[in-house]
Amino acid sequence: SEALAAWPSDPRQWSVRDLRLLGVWQQGGVAQAVLGNGLNKVKVAPGQRVGLEGYRVRRVNGAGVELAAPDPSGPVLHLTWQGDTP
């Protein structure tokens, strides 16, 4: 759809509620992931900021991605595989 095609390339400008986990892997000993929605995707690693809400990638592993809220007392969001397909 046009709405998805119009997403900015900077993942800090995306809403975290729209993000989906698309893939995970290890590169140079660092776990990385691909997040996105539809055709829009971005590679992320621990420490990287994502979402308009100011979340940071806290951890990436085979089960998914943890996003830490900007406020240390805020919730940790878990992006996991959806349905029966990774």
Q: Is-contact 23 34, C-beta < 8 A? A: yes
Q: How far is CA 56 from CA 14, 36, 50, in A?
A: 13, 15, 6
Q: In the structure encoding, which two tokens stand for residue 1, read together? A: 């759809």
Q: What is the pTM of this model?
A: 0.80
pLDDT digits (tens, 9 = 90+) for 1-28: 444 456 677 777 888 888 999 999 998 9
Q: What tokens were used for 75?
A: 């919730």
Cα(first)–Cα(last) distance of the chain, in Å?
22
pLDDT digit string, tens, across residues 21-61? 999 999 898 899 999 887 888 899 999 999 899 999 999 99
